[in-house]
Structure 1
Amino acid sequence: MHIRSFGVVLSVALLTSGAYGKLKFESVQLADEDAAMFPAISFAKGDNKTSEAECRAFPGSPDWPSVPDWDNFNASISGALLYPVIPAAACYPGPDRDATKCDFLVRSASTSHFYIDDPLMTLTQWPQGNTCLPALNTTGNCTRGGFPEFVVNATTVKHVQAAVNFARNKNIRLIIKNKGHDFGGRSLGAGSLSIWVHHLDEFEYLPRFKKVKYNGPAARYGTGLEQFELFNNMARYNITMVGSGVRTISANGGWFAHGGHGHLTSLYGLGSDQALELGVVTADGEYVVADEEENTDLFYALRGGGPSTYGVVVSVVVKAYPPTTLSSSSLSIACNPPADTNSRAQFAPISTATNFVNNTNRFWEAVNIYFRYKETIVNNSGVDWDYLYPLGSGSFSFRVRITYPNTTAERAAELLQPLYDNYVKAGFNFLPFNRIETIPTPYASRISPPPSSNGLAASRYRSRLLPHANWASDDLFNKTMAAIRESVEVGGYNFHSLALGPSPRAAGWPGRGSSVNPAWRHAVLHACLMTQQGVSLTAQAARDEEARIQGYLSRWRELTPGAGAYLNEGDPGEPDWQQGFYGSNYGELLRIKKERDPWGVFWATTTVGSEAWEVRVVDGYPRSQNGRLCRAGKTRVVEGRSL
C-alpha cells in the first residue's frame, strides 16, 4: 500500500483493557485537555450555531485549512492522518508511476484483499468520476476526482471524535468509509476528510448479556470487523450470528445501517434487527451508548435509518444464537444455450444438473413457476438467491439456490416437492431435487483466511422490494413477471433477486421497533436490475443508460405502489427516494437528524436530510461525488455569471 503520511510521528498510547461494556479502542477518548491544546478539535458543547457558508470548504478556497492546521490536527491524533496516493496513479506518468504495481492492479488485485485494505478505494468507481482507472496503456492524467483529500486511519474513538470535531469546526465535508462496498457513492466525496473505520475490528464474546427484555448470549464487536472475521468467531465460539453472505462486507457499517440481509433473514430478521446496544460518536463529538434505555432516538434511527447521517457507529452488541444449519438445493435452467463447450460452461450448475429448454416462452413459463414458489420459501423461514442472464440470440440462463435454516434434509425435500410437482404438471422433464445438502451456516464451521475483494466495477444497482400483495393475485403476479421478463429480454439487463421475509415475528425484540423501511416487513422478494457496463463507461453513456433503465424501473414501481427499495442495493436516482428508501419513517428520522446534527456534519447521498445539500458535479456522471458540496438551490456565480 502506497500512502504518503505526514512527518509528525508521535508515540501511540498503549491501549489498556477498558471496563466491562467497552472494547479496548473505545477506552481511548478525546478529552477537553486535548482540545485546549488545539481548539480546532473542540467539542460543540451545546453550540447549535450552523455555518452560514454556501459550500463546504474545498481545496483552494479561502476557508480551506492551512498546512499548519493539518499538521496540528495530525499531531492531535498521534500521526493517524493520511494523504493516500490513488493506487492507479502507478499506471500514469508522474512521480508515482510504478510498472510493477500497475501490472498487479490490472492482473491480480481483484484476486487479493488489496482493495478492501486500501484507505481510498471503493469497489464501485463511477461515483469517483473514473478519473484514475488502472490500465496498462493509459492516456491522459490521473486526478483525484471524487476521492477524499485526507483520511483519518481511526484506531481509537479519540481519532473519530477529533475528526468529527475538526470537520465541523472547519466546515469540511466529512465522509465515513469502511470496506469499500458502496454502490451509491456514500463513501466518496471530493475535497473531503474521510474517517476510515476499517481497523476498528475488535471482537468480544459475551456468554450472558442482559439488556431489558434480552438475557442470553451476545457479541460486541467493532464497526470495522469484516464478515469473514465474524464467521471465524462464530466457529471459535460455536454460535451463530446474522451476517451477510459476502465475506468482505463489514459486519456492521452500511450493511447494518440500512437493514442488512443474509442467509438467516427470514428466520432471525435483518442485520439491524440484531442490535442490543450501539457505541456512537455524535455530531457534537461526544461518545455515547444508545440502547432501549438511553439515547433511544439514536438507537431507533441507527437500526435501519440509513448510514453516515446521525453519527459514527464504532461498536455494536448483537444477539448470538445456537449453531444453525442450512439445508439447501439448487436449480439451473438454460434456454437455447450455445452449442460450443466453452459457452456452455457458463450454465454449469451450482449443485445440480442444468435443465435445458429450447423455447423462449417455455423458459419464462418455467421461471414463472419457480417465482410462484418463492412465497413458500419465505413463509417457511427460507431464503433463496437467483440470477437471470440474457445471453443474446434468444439465449437465457436462470440459476437459483434455496436454503432452509434449521431444517432437516427430509423436511426440505417435502417443502420442495410441490415445486417439482408443478414442473411435472406443466410438462417439464426437470431433474428432481434429489440432492439436498445440510451444512453449518456458511463459513462458520471453519477458520478461513481473508478472501479476495473482487475487482473494480461501474455497475449501478436498482432494486425494489416486492410485497406479498404481488403474490396474492394471479393477475398482479403475471403482470409483475411480465415486467421482469421485459427488463431482461427486451432491456438486456441482468436480474438478481432474493426471496426473504424479515417479518416482525422474525425480527423479534428489539428489531421490530427499529427504523428499517416498513416495506421490508411485507416483502417476499428483493429484486435488483443491473447494467452490464465496464469501469470506463463515459459520462454521456452513463446519462443515456440512466434514462433508458428508468423506463423499465417505472413499470416495477407502478406494480408495487407504496412499496420501497433497499438503499444498500438501491437506485442512486430513485425518483422519490425519501419514500422509496425510508417509507413512513422518514418524517421521524428527519426530526432526529435535525436535532442530533443541526450543523449538517454528516452527509451522504440519499440519506435522511441530504436534500438540504447537493454535489456540484464537474464530470457529468449522474449522482457522481466528484464536485464540491454546497447548499441545495443556491445560485453560484462564476466569473460574474449566475449558474
Structure 2
Amino acid sequence: MYRPDIFLTLIFFAAQEVVGSNFPFEAVQLSEADAKSFPAIGFGNTKAGPPPGSTVPQCRAWPGSHDWPSDAEWKQLNISLGGALLKPLPAAAACYQGENYNETTCQWLVTQAGRTRFWIDEPLSTLTQWPQGSTCTLAMNATGTCTRGGFPEYVVNATTVTHIQAAVNFARNKNVRLVIKNTGHDFGGRSMGAGALSIWVHNLKSFEFIPEYSIGQYSGMAVRVGAGIESWEMFNHMAANNITVVAPGGATVGSVGGWIAVAGHGSLASKYGLGADQVLSINVVTADGRFRTVDPHNHEDLWWALRGGGPSTFGVITSVVLKAYPPINITSVSLSFSVNPSLANGTILPGIPPPRPNAPSTTDLSAFWRGVSLSYHDCIHIITAGGYCFSYIYPLGPSSFAYSTSHTIPNITSPAFTALLEPLYTQLNTLSIPVTLPASTSLTPTLYAGNGRRTGTGDTPINTRYRSRLFPSSVWQSPSEFEALFSSIRVGVEEGGYTFHGIAYSPTLEIAGWPGANSAVNPAWRRTALHGSLMEIQPEGISAAEAKRRDERAHGYVARWKELTPGAGAYMNEGDPAETGWQGSFYGGLYGRLVGVKRRWDPWGLFWARTTPGSEAWEVVTRDGYPAGQNGRLCRVVR
C-alpha cells in the first residue's frame, strides 16, 4: 500500500546532510538591539539606494576631514567592541627620536624580532613594506620622523563575529576605508591602507576535525578552520588527527581568507588541487554586516565568487570547512648545481632559501643553462605523477649562477622515484654537470603532516616584488615553444638580474573535482604546468619616478612571457600589483561575472583592495604618484 507519510520520511532522510556546527566565536553576533543603541553600527541594505538628495562621497573619510568620525564616535565603537579597538604605533617608531624612542627596543627589532613571531603577531605590519610608503622604516639610528603612512589608523582585534560585524557596519556607515589582515603575508599591499580601519582576524584560531561530513556530492572527512589559522598550525592539527589537508607551503601563511580567495597553491596541487578546490562551506560577514553561511545550497553566486574570485572583495571570512584526506607519505629529492661559483659576487634576496653550499658546479655557461632547461622540462613527469617541483635560479655575478630545485611526489615507492629521475641525471652528467642521483635506499618517505611540532617563526619585513605568469602545459608539447619560453626566462635572470622562482604543478579540473571545478578560480590554472616569477627587492625610499622606471623595466621582461603564452594568466597572491591588464591576467574570462557579484553584494564598494574585481573604480591618491602604494586617500576614479 502506498504510504505518503513513509515516502515523505524517506525523502527527508535522503536529503539530510551532516554539516556540523559553527565555532563558539561565531555564535557571538551583533544584534538589532546593539545596532539600534549605536546607529553607526547599524546593518546595511544592499537593495536600498542613497537617501533622496544625498551626494555620494568621492573619497573615503580622512583623518582631519569634515566627515571623519569624531573621537566620541571612535570611543563608542570601542565600547561596542568590548575594548577590541586598537590604535597601535608603527613598531619602528621605537627607532626614531621623540617620545616613542627606545634604543633597546629598536635594537631588538632590528637584530632579534625576525627570529621570533613578532612581525606575524603584530597588528599593523605586513611582511612587504614598500606599499606603506617607507614613512617609518626599521633601522638603527633612523633619521627624520616616523609617520603612519600606509598603515591603518585603527585596528579591530576580532575575536568574535560581533567584532567583525560592528567594524564592517561602522566603516560602511561612516565612509571609512576598510582593510582586512591576518598574518601580513601580502606582496601587494592589500592588508594596509592609509586612513583605514583594519579588521585583524589573526586570533580566530579555532579548529575542528569532522570525521564524517556530507554535503552535495561530497561525503568524507573534513575540517572546520578559523580564519586566523596559519599553515604550521594546520600541519600540527593534521598530525594530531592523523589526516592530510591541503595547506600553504609557507609556515606562517594563513590557511583561510586570501589564500583560498585567490586559488591557493601548494605542494599537493597536482594530487588534490588548489586550496579553493577544498572548500565545502564558508562562513562570512558581508558588506551589509550580516553573518552568512555560504555553500553549494546557499547564496550560489557568492559561493562561486568566494572561491578564487579575489581577496578582501566580497566579505570577511570567519571560517571554512575543507576536505580532509587520509595521511599520505611524500618523497622529496633535492637537486642543485652552479656555474662559475668562484666568480660569484652577488647576493641572495632576503627571505629566499640560498643555494646549497658546495653544490656540484661547471665552468661551461651553456651547459649550465642547458641543464636548467632539461630540469624544468623534466618536471612534466613529476607533476604527471601527482608531484611538484620547487625551484630557484639565482644570479650571483658576472657569468655566475646557481640553480636549486626539489622534486616532491606523494605516495610513491623509492624505486619508482629513482626510475623517474634517472634519465634527467644521466642527461646532466652528459653535460659534465657532476650531480648524483640519491640511491633508492636513501629516499625515505615522510608523513606530509610532519611531527606536529612546527612553530612558525622567523619572518621579517622585506620589500619583495613579484612579476609572475602561469605557463600552460601545452608549451611542454612543443620543443620550439618550450625553447622560446625558457630563453625568455634566461634573459630575465642573465640580463635583467632577477631571481627566477618556478613551481611546477598541474591543478586540472579533473583533480579539482566537486565542488572545486565550478568556482571563480582563473581558468588558466587548469592548464598550468609552471608558475614562474621574476623576483627582486624594491629599495626603500625610492622616488615615484624611480619606482615607475623599475616597473616598466620588469614589465618589459614579463611582456615576452605574455607574448609566448597568449590567454594564460598570473597568480595574484604572488603577482604584480602594478600588473598591466590585471583583469585578464588574474581572473581570465570570469572577470565580468565577478564584477556583477561584487556589485550585487557590495553596492557601496566597501571592500577594496588593488587588482580585485571592481577595484578600478577607486584609486589611492598618493602625494607623489607612487605606483601601487597605499600611502594616500582612497577616492573614486573620475572618468
TM-score in terms of structure 2 length: 0.93
Query: Which residue in the other structure is 2:49 paired with?
Result: 49
Query: What is the CA deviation profile of residues 45-89 of structure 1, one whole-angstrom value per residue up to 9, with x for unaligned ones?
Result: 445325601101110110000011101111111111000111000
Q: Is the 8 A contact 2:336 2:360 kept in 1?
A: yes
- C-alpha deviations, 1:284-330, integer Å up to 9, x for none? 11001111111111111011111001111110000010001111101
Q: Which residue number in structure 1 is paired with residue 298 of structure 2?
A: 294
Per the TM alignment, residue 420 of structure 1 is displaced from its structure 2 partner at its CA by 2.1
Distance 1:170 1:347, change over 3 A: closer
Tell me which of 129, 136, 151 is aligned to 1:132. Answer: 136
Q: Any conservation in 2 of the 1:458–1:537 contact (CA below 8 Å)?
A: no
- Determine if contact 1:325/1:438 at 8 Å carries over to the other structure: no
Residues 589, 54 of structure 1: alpha-carbon distance in 2 compared, 3 angstrom cutoff: same
**TM-superposition CA deviations, 1:83-142 (whole Å, max 9, x none):** 011100000012111111100111111111000000000010010001001111111110
**Aligned mate of 2:491, from 486, 500, 506:** 486
Cα distance in 2 for partners of 1:190, 1:606 equals: 17
Task: Give the match for residue 97 of structure 2.
Answer: 93
- Tell me the equivalent position of 1:314: 318
2:600 aligns with one of 595, 602, 607: 595
Match runs of 1:436-447 below 5 Å: 437-442=443-448, 444-447=449-452
Counterpart of 1:26? 26
Write the distance in 2 (CA, Å) between the matches of 1:380 and 1:234.
23
Which of residues 474, 479, 496 is equivalent to 1:474?
A: 479
Say which of 364, 376, 394 aligns to 1:389.
394
1:348–1:595 CA distance, 2 compared to 1 (3 A): closer
Q: CA deviation at 1:355?
A: 2.3
Percent identity of equivalent pairs: 49
Establish whether residue 568 from structure 1 lines up as the match of residue 580 from structure 2.
Answer: no
8 Å contact 1:493–1:532 — kept in the other structure? no
C-alpha distance in structure 1 between counterparts of 2:513 and 2:358, whole Å = 38
Q: Which residue identity is paired with 2:81?
A: I
Give the conservation status (yes or no) of the 8 Å contact 1:48–1:599: no
Instruction: Find the counterpart in structure 2 of residue 518 from structure 1.
Output: 523
Shift of 1:434: 2.7
Structure 1 residue aligned with 2:67, among 63, 66, 76? 63
- Say whether residues 1:421 and 2:426 are aligned partners: yes
Aligned partner of 1:280 in structure 2 is 284
Aligned to 1:640: none
User: Residues of 1 paired with 2:47 and 2:347: CA distance?
Assistant: 64
Asked if 1:249 corresponds to 2:268, the answer is: no
Q: Secondary structure at the match of 1:267?
A: coil
| SS of residue paired to 1:555 | helix
- Partner Cα distance (2:391, 2:545) in 1: 31
Mapped to 2, the partners of 1:463 and 1:347 lie a distance apart of 19
Q: 1:21 and 1:477 mapped to 2: Cα distance?
A: 50
Task: Tell me how far apart the structure 2 counterparts of residues 64 and 393 of structure 1 sit (CA, whole Å).
Answer: 55
Match of 1:456 among 439, 452, 461: 461
Alpha-carbon separation, structure 1, partners of 2:595 and 2:66: 32
Match of 1:39 in 2: 39
Q: Is the 1:179–1:198 Cα contact (8 Å) retained in structure 2?
A: yes
Partner of 1:377: 382
Q: Which residue of 1 aligns with 2:7?
A: none
Residue 340 of structure 2 aligns with an amino acid whose one-letter code is N
Deviations 1:376-434 (A, max 9, x none): 11211110110101111210000000100111112111211222233345554432243
CA distance in 1, matches of 2:410, 2:542: 41
Map 1:65-80 to 2 at 5 A. Answer: 65-80=69-84
Distance 1:464 1:251 in 2: 23
| Number of positions where the alignment pairs a residue of Structure 1 with one of Structure 2 | 613
For 2:621, give the aligned amino acid: R
> Partner amino acid for 2:132?
Q
Which amino acid is 1:492 matched to? G
* Matched letter for residue 410 of structure 2: P
Alpha-carbon distance change, 575 to 46 in structure 1, aligned in 2, over 3 angstroms: closer
Listed as ranges, the gaps of 5+ residues in structure 2 are 1-18
Q: 1:362 offset after TM fit, Å?
A: 1.2
* 1:340 positional shift: 9.4
CA contact (8 A) 1:353 1:431 kept: no
Counterpart of 1:228 in structure 2 is 232
Q: Distance in 1 between the 2:344 and 2:302 partners?
A: 57
- In the alignment, the residues of structure 2 paired with residue 429 and residue 615 of structure 1 have an alpha-carbon distance, to the nearest angstrom, of 52
Task: Name the SS for the 1:326 alignment partner.
Answer: strand
2:337 is equivalent to residue 333 of structure 1: yes
Q: TM-score, normalised by structure 1?
A: 0.92
Which one-letter code corresponds to 2:427 in the other structure?
Answer: N
Distance 1:533 1:127, change over 3 A: closer
CA distance in 2, matches of 1:33, 1:48: 21
**Are 1:354 and 2:369 an aligned pair?**
no
- Once superposed, which parts of structure 1, at least 4 consecutive aligned residues long, lie more than 6 Å away? 339-344, 346-349
Conservation of the 8 A alpha-carbon contact between 1:129 and 1:619:
no
Cα distance, 1:35 vs structure 2: 0.5
Do the aligned residues in 2 keep the contact of 1:173 with 1:601 (CA within 8 Å)?
yes
